[in-house]
Amino acid sequence: MLKHLCATVATNFHTRLSGGTTSYFSITPGMRTGIGRDWYLLAGLEVPLVGPLPFANQAIVQAIKNF
């Protein structure tokens, strides 16, 4: 059932372009796999590293349809 299982790493960086010095950076290790009929499941755990930390860790899950 699970096809093309692979590991992923994503990063997020947010900063204000005018005014303020607040920046935010996080890393999200995760996985992607095919679940059939051009559907894919993505999952990861976002870990904030720099800046105001609005949360400790955050799970992310997405179901994506390829057209």
- pTM greater than 0.85: no
Considering the domain 3-65 in this protein, what is its CATH number? 2.20.200
Domain ranges (residues) in the chain: 3-65
Q: What integer pLDDT is reported at residue 29 of this predicted model?
A: 97
pLDDT in tens, 22-62: 888 999 999 999 998 889 999 999 999 987 777 788 999 99
Band of residue 6 on the pLDDT scale cut at 50, 70, 90 = very high
Q: Is 5 exposed, middle or buried (0-12, 13-18, 19+ CB in 10 A)?
A: exposed
Give yes or no for residue 2 having a pLDDT over 70.
Answer: no
